Amino acid sequence: MTRRVLIVDDETSLLEFLSLLFEEEGYTVDTASSVEEARASISTVDHHLILCDIMMPDGNGLDLLREIKQEQPHTAVIMMTAYTSTKSAIEAMRLGAYDYISKPFDVEELKVLAEKAFEKTELEEQNLYLRRELEGKYAFSNIIGSSRKMQDVFGLVDRVARTASTVLIHGESGTGKELIARAIHFASSRAKAKFLSINCGALPENLLESELFGHVKGAFTGAVREKKGLFQEADGGTLFLDEIGEMTPTMQVKLLRALQEKTVRRVGGNVEEPIDVRIIAATNQQLEERIASGDFREDLYYRINVIPIHLPPLRQRREDIPLLVEHFLSQFSEQLGDERKRISVDAMKALESYTWPGNVRELENVIERSVALSTEDTITTRDLPPQLTEGRTGESEVIALPEKGLDLEAYLEEIRADLMAQALDRAGGVQTRAAELLGMSFRSFRYYAKKVGVTGHED
Is the pLDDT at 457 greater than 80? The verdict is: no
> By the 8 A CB rule, do 78 and 117 touch?
yes
Most confidently modeled of 7-16, 99-108, 295-304?
A: 295-304
pLDDT tens digits for range 239-255: 999 999 999 999 999 99
Confidence of residue 139 (pLDDT cuts 50, 70, 90): very low
Q: What is the CATH number of the domain that holds 51?
A: 3.40.50.2300
Is the pLDDT at 395 greater than 50? The verdict is: no
Boundary (domain end) residue, out of 129, 155, 178? 129
pLDDT (0 to 100) of residue 70 = 82
Are residue 297 and residue 322 in the same domain, yes or no?
no
User: Where in the sequence is the domain holding 369, given as residue range(s)?
Assistant: 315-389
pLDDT (0 to 100) of residue 433 = 86
Q: How many helices (H) and strands (E) does the chain have?
A: 19, 18
Are residue 162 and residue 246 in the same domain, yes or no?
yes
Range 396-410 average pLDDT? 62
Is the pLDDT at 7 greater than 90? The verdict is: yes
pLDDT (0 to 100) of residue 50 = 92
Cis peptide before 308 (omega within 30 of 0): no
At 190, give phi and psi (nearest 5°). -95, 10
8-state DSSP, 400? P
Boundary (domain end) residue, out of 282, 310, 338? 310
Query: What does DSSP say about strands 55-56 and 59-60: parallel, antiparallel, or unpaired?
Result: antiparallel
Question: Which amino acid, one-letter code, is at 264?
Answer: V
Are residue 158 and residue 251 in the same domain, yes or no?
yes
pLDDT (0 to 100) of residue 138 = 41
pTM: 0.59
Are residue 319 and residue 306 in the same domain, yes or no?
no
Tally of domains within the chain:
4
Confidence of residue 41 (pLDDT cuts 50, 70, 90): confident
Are residue 301 and residue 325 in the same domain, yes or no?
no
pLDDT tens digits for range 152-197: 998 899 899 999 999 999 999 999 999 999 989 988 999 888 999 9
Is the pLDDT at 459 greater than 70? The verdict is: no
Q: What is the CATH number of the domain that holds 162?
A: 3.40.50.300
Query: Would you say how long the chain is, in residues?
Result: 459
Per the domain annotation, does 284 fall within a domain? yes
Share of the chain above pLDDT 90, in %: 39
Q: SS3 for 190?
A: coil
pLDDT (0 to 100) of residue 69 = 86
Are residue 292 and residue 323 in the same domain, yes or no?
no
Confidence of residue 299 (pLDDT cuts 50, 70, 90): very high
Are residue 215 and residue 244 in the same domain, yes or no?
yes
pLDDT tens digits for range 210-237: 999 999 888 888 777 788 899 999 999 9
Distances from the Cα of 146 to the Cα of 169, 343, 348, angstroms: 20, 20, 17
DSSP string, 80-111: EESS--HHHHHHHHHTT-SEEEESS--HHHHH
- Rounded-to-integer distance, Cα 193 and Cα 380, Å: 45
Per the domain annotation, does 379 fall within a domain? yes
- Rounded-to-integer distance, Cα 142 and Cα 200, Å: 24
> What rounded mean pLDDT belongs to the chain?
85
pLDDT (0 to 100) of residue 340 = 85
Boundary (domain end) residue, out of 129, 153, 181? 129
pLDDT tens digits for range 356-372: 999 999 999 999 999 99
Distances from the Cα of 47 to the Cα of 34, 40, 41, angstroms: 17, 13, 9
Query: What does DSSP say about strands 378-379 and 278-283: parallel, antiparallel, or unpaired?
Result: unpaired
Per the domain annotation, does 138 fall within a domain? no
> By the 8 A CB rule, do 147 and 287 touch?
no
Tell me which residue of 277, 273, 211, 203 sits closest to 243, measured CA to CA.
Answer: 203
Per the domain annotation, does 302 fall within a domain? yes
Tell me which residue of 100, 125, 120, 107 sits closest to 25, measured CA to CA.
Answer: 107
Q: What is the CATH number of the domain that holds 352?
A: 1.10.8.60
- Rounded-to-integer distance, Cα 168 and Cα 240, Å: 10
Is the pLDDT at 393 greater than 60? The verdict is: no
